[in-house]
Structure 1
Amino acid sequence: MNIFADFEGRVKKAVEAILPAGEDVDLSRVTVEPPRDPAHGDLATNAAMVLAKGLKTKPRDLAERIADALKADPDIETIGIAGPGFINLSLKPGFWIDHLATLLGAGSGYGRGPATGRKLNVEYVSANPTGPMHVGHCRGAVVGDVIARLLAFAGNDVTKEYYINDAGEQVNVLARSAYLRYREALGEEIGEIPAGLYPGDYLKPVGEALAKEFGDMLLGQSEEEWLPVVRDRAIDAMMAMIRSDLKGLGVEHDLFFSERTLHAGNGGKIAEAISDLTDRGFVYKGTLPPPKGQVPEDWEDREQVLLRSTDVGDDQDRPLVKSNGAYTYFAADVAYFRDKFERGFSEMIYVLGADHGGYVKRLEAVAKAVSGGSAVADCVLCQLVKLYRDGEPVKMSKRSGDFVTLAEVVEEVGRDPVRFMMLYRKSDAPLDFDFKKVTEQSKDNPVFYVQYAHARAAAVFRQAEEAGIAVPDFAGIESESLSGLTDVGEVGLIRKLAEFPRLIQQAADAKEPHRLAFYLNDLAAAFHAQYNRGKDLPDLRFVNRDDPMISVARLGLVKAVAIVLAIGLDLIGADAPEEMR
């Protein structure tokens, strides 16, 4: 169904057909893609440009030979050579009609890739369980979720994972904050929340639950006694809140992995990972150079247990064990990657905030060290989201005290606008989110524009029913019934639909879900434009009472548009409405 992959194969066969006996060339760089200017044709290939040097010939001369070999292809109408040797192909009208019939037959499976056998892990969000999700987590949550959906639709076995950072000092601070709310729930006047603790009202229910469960029993205990008890209850409460917030956004993970399990049994999994890497020559005792720039006053030139990560592409070797014998956060990262690798994953995708850019090289190095190069770490960085209301920045939240929560954003504008707009910029570019703009009903609001296109397609079928036109089962329609689609706008829509399988594969491979959002907006624009042409030219209307045959063909095209819009919206995690209010 991917016509670009199909014709890439045809071009490569044409090249092989013209090679002298015994000549062997690398065809991996040969591509077929849409030409930049649609006037140049339907497809363009770089074959002559990338192969000429290896074959010791001029690109244009090679292009002419390849073009001659392609003339026998029954689906190609014209072949042109542009510039120094690009080959442009125009396909016969019947090809597009046949492809539309194939699309209708595939239905909701259109664009789905065959099983690859690849087992992939996508880890995203992984926020510290110290409070509600805020808008800063929102973009990574959507980007990670849609990357996982795209990869699965492209044919991969995907696990969506959340890493619970439930070890370390952050969760101890959470426990002390919850303990303060526990004392408050028992009637104690706690005054202003001390600096360093979490001040949000979201911890009041945790304190009340502790008071209900334990009464005043914890008051008589030392911190060493009450802290682990309060910490466990607080983490559970925060994770329940986080799961609820994510569910409201349409994000559900397959697995929640606890960092503490890596430390269990006296650092069992971490110790195992370090031992394995030691046996393989990746761990040694040594010192690190001082940090670049201003050296902290407390910096010491001391011997530590280090990972020889510079041997596998990192900027510097990384400490695994502190001078006091405690494991570093990085050591847990190493053990966590090893755990994923032992679970059979060949690619670990990490969706990280832009402030974690320094983690990229170290995670890539960990992947090489742990797996011996048989697994990879792929990091996707998400830039910040700035909230606006009528152009004015939004900063504060009643619920949290110092940030806007994800739940508040979803409650105000809805899940679909949030998810779609979080993808409407490349993830490594900053994103401005204006509450007013994402809820207005206009073509300037992409999510409304795309959903309205699907609703408009549904309305066309209601019009056909009212006109008494019998609508066939499009899943089994023959090409002949669609052959009346000859208008330039109709054929243009089919061409746009034919780009979808390639778009899915490219967006999945590049981990760039914004490509899907952009494509859906372009498809919606093409559909709306063709609909509006029918207002000016009645002969182009999708429903024509006087010509049931052309109406059926055009309804097939509308059905195809609705299918692709529905698939794309589902991958984004948004609804495909039949009607718009």
Structure 2
Amino acid sequence: MNLFADIRALVVTSLEGMVQAGVLAEGLSFDNVTVEPPRDASHGDMATNAAMVLAKPSKMKPRDIADALAAALLNDPRIEAADVAGPGFLNLRLSKSLWQGVVKSALVDAQFGQSNLGGGKKINVEYVSANPTGPLHVGHTRGAVFGDALASLLAYAGYDVTREYYINDGGGQVDVLARSVYLRYLEAHGQQVAFEDGTYPGDYLIEVGIALKDKVGDAYVDQPEEVWLAELRLFATDAMMAMIRDDLAALGVSMDVFFSEKSLYGTGRIEDAIEDLRSKGLIYTGTLEPPKGKLPEDWEPREQTLFKSTDYGDDVDRPVQKSDGAWTYFAPDIAYHYDKITRGFDGLIDVLGADHGGYVKRMKAAVSALSDTQVALDIKLCQLVKLMKNGEPFKMSKRAGTFVTLADVVEMVGPDVTRFVMLTRKNDAPLDFDIDKVTEQSKDNPVWYVQYASARVHQVMRKAAEAGIAVDDATLAGADLSLLDHAAEIAMAQKLAEWPRLVEVAARTHEPHRVAFYLYDLASEMHSLYNRGNDDHSLRFIQDDAAVSQAKIALIRAVCVVISHGLGILGVTPATEMR
């Protein structure tokens, strides 16, 4: 049940009737007609912009359209009032029975809030994709949580979602990793070593060095690099990916696909992608203009193989092959996305760190060109996380040596808190993660506040059962919900009715933080209703009359159901009691 969609359908049907009656001109599009919660709840239950968006194409005054639409809508028993406001907005008040029906729907429909918006379209969500050179850090944590929640949200909204991790194992950083493991290997043999030339000093490689010793003994001790580098690249990458998988598992993240960058090299896959662009006249040999601003000392004009990315909205054309024949960093990225397109995805989403801002236009241009504009790419950038503890920046991990790891954060506050808090800001806004605040029990801690609402519902249900009142879901769904007639109870039901609409809005905009915000607001309504019962006994959930109690408990049980659905999208376990 999506009450907002139902009322919008009623508005569109009424507009179509106005066209048949000659009130509105034929051929009008109603695609931009919306039905939404009003900005001010005192104005009504829902509001439609129909008169405003149809005024210009119909060459009519908005108020004239709104007056006629209001008269048409009042013929439906679901609409109790239709008031024209301002230049032509139409505010609607709905029958209480509709709001009471939302409560029942939430209880009997296991898919309440789910949507067929996606229509089974195949969406690839690529996230985390950290270099396999060490454990995931707190910045990766935000991308992991955001990407995973977005994937769950899209699946909930009817998309066929694939979760993917791109292993950056094709570059020079893997050579550095191999050399670092080699130093730990020598250390395992009792040698003194020094981490120089950018090698990784973190303790996480100690066990890897020991594991290498166990595997090969002293075969690589004091041997030149050409003897062991290739083997150690594979050994170290496998060890790091095992560590990364464990870190993700601790956060509740599981990938469907791990795609290796290295698999693109020497297999013709890069060449195939570039050839596809060449066949479309988008590859040429040319010389780029010098970069704007300060000219690098080593810059010199030279011919390169370029992609005409400016044909698809980029600022400049981009090199894909250097003058010496080597591929640029952009070339394997093109090939990787070409591979996604050939796998038949209808849409692609990349979740990247904030430092990839310059990557957005060029990659969108490439996907647009490769797919003949048939596949959309959305790149979501996750801003930095500032970790705080005891009022001070928390910057160092003993395990990693230079940063705080995902495992550190999960160990300190748990996966549920980590996931929820990472979604309390929009992905492109900086996030302060205060270890002390996210574990305190107060309204200022959103995850605790939402979990407490769920726990309170379970507490009420336990007390009702102890009092001999049946509160199983079947009984509650059959309760006389017309007994929910207090304004505060109707307001609670109205908040529940927003859930299906919220899911579709969040899915369309690729913004899972909207779910976290909604859950906080829903919990706030729940706590407010609970507390009002202290002064107004008629609002208490357990009454002397069992039928009245069941109606009231049905309302808050519906709240608990929606909280459970929402937390499920965020990857957080609902609470049944607080400890």
- Which piece of structure 1 moves more, 469-478 or 179-188? 469-478
AA paired with 1:162? Y
Between the aligned partners of 1:322 and 1:476, the Cα distance in structure 2 is 69
- Is 1:157 equivalent to 2:156 in the alignment? no
Q: Any conservation in 2 of the 1:474–1:556 contact (CA below 8 Å)?
A: no
Q: Secondary structure of 1:285's partner?
A: strand
Q: Who is 2:383 aligned against?
A: 383
Q: Secondary structure of 2:387's partner?
A: strand
Question: Which of 121, 124, 129 does residue 126 from structure 1 map onto?
Answer: 129
- Is 1:412 equivalent to 2:412 in the alignment? yes
- Is 1:23 equivalent to 2:12 in the alignment? no
Q: Any conservation in 2 of the 1:105–1:476 contact (CA below 8 Å)?
A: no
Between the aligned partners of 2:329 and 2:163, the Cα distance in structure 1 is 22
Between the aligned partners of 1:476 and 1:417, the Cα distance in structure 2 is 31
Q: Who is 2:340 aligned against?
A: 340
Report the CA distance between 1:71 and its aligned residue: 1.2
Between the aligned partners of 1:285 and 1:72, the Cα distance in structure 2 is 68
Q: Any conservation in 2 of the 1:105–1:475 contact (CA below 8 Å)?
A: no
- Is 1:519 equivalent to 2:547 in the alignment? no
Q: Secondary structure of 1:54's partner?
A: helix
The answer for unaligned runs of 5 or more in structure 1 is none
Q: Any conservation in 1 of the 2:353–2:383 contact (CA below 8 Å)?
A: yes
Q: Who is 2:176 aligned against?
A: 173
Q: Any conservation in 1 of the 2:476–2:554 contact (CA below 8 Å)?
A: no
Q: Who is 1:68 aligned against?
A: 71
Report the CA distance between 1:475 and its aligned residue: 7.8
Q: Who is 1:261 aligned against?
A: 263
Between the aligned partners of 2:403 and 2:325, the Cα distance in structure 1 is 37
Structure 2 counterparts to residues 45-124 of structure 1, below 5 A:
45-107=48-110, 109-114=111-116, 116-124=119-127
AA paired with 1:505? E
Between the aligned partners of 2:124 and 2:258, the Cα distance in structure 1 is 12
1:43-82: per-residue Cα shift (whole Å, max 9, x none)?
Answer: 0000001111111111111110111111111200011111
AA paired with 2:281? G
| Residues 449 and 516 of structure 1: CA distance in aligned 2, closer, same or farther (over 3 Å) | same
Between the aligned partners of 2:294 and 2:471, the Cα distance in structure 1 is 74
1:114-159: per-residue Cα shift (whole Å, max 9, x none)?
Answer: 2612100000000000000110111111111100000000000000
Q: Secondary structure of 1:499's partner?
A: helix
- Which piece of structure 1 moves more, 462-471 or 215-224? 215-224
Between the aligned partners of 2:462 and 2:328, the Cα distance in structure 1 is 63
- Is 1:213 equivalent to 2:212 in the alignment? no
Q: Secondary structure of 1:372's partner?
A: coil
TM-score, normalising length: structure 2: 0.97
Q: Who is 1:243 aligned against?
A: 245
Between the aligned partners of 2:226 and 2:499, the Cα distance in structure 1 is 59
Between the aligned partners of 1:537 and 1:81, the Cα distance in structure 2 is 35
Between the aligned partners of 2:221 and 2:197, the Cα distance in structure 1 is 22
Q: Secondary structure of 2:221's partner?
A: helix
1:72-129: per-residue Cα shift (whole Å, max 9, x none)?
Answer: 112000111111100000001111112221221113x211112612100000000000
Between the aligned partners of 1:157 and 1:93, the Cα distance in structure 2 is 37
Between the aligned partners of 1:90 and 1:202, the Cα distance in structure 2 is 61
Q: Who is 1:530 aligned against?
A: 529
- Is 1:146 equivalent to 2:145 in the alignment? no
Between the aligned partners of 2:438 and 2:25, the Cα distance in structure 1 is 60
Q: Secondary structure of 1:120's partner?
A: strand
- Is 1:322 equivalent to 2:322 in the alignment? yes
Q: Secondary structure of 1:536's partner?
A: coil
Question: Which of 533, 544, 547 does residue 545 from structure 2 map onto?
Answer: 547
AA paired with 2:279? D
Between the aligned partners of 2:346 and 2:363, the Cα distance in structure 1 is 14
Give the number of aligned pairs. 575
Q: Who is 1:501 aligned against?
A: 500
Report the CA distance between 1:300 and its aligned residue: 2.1
Q: Any conservation in 1 of the 2:25–2:58 contact (CA below 8 Å)?
A: no
AA paired with 2:199? L
- Is 1:488 equivalent to 2:487 in the alignment? yes
Between the aligned partners of 2:278 and 2:475, the Cα distance in structure 1 is 59
Q: Secondary structure of 1:351's partner?
A: strand
TM-score, normalising length: structure 1: 0.97
Between the aligned partners of 2:306 and 2:76, the Cα distance in structure 1 is 61
Q: Any conservation in 1 of the 2:143–2:382 contact (CA below 8 Å)?
A: yes
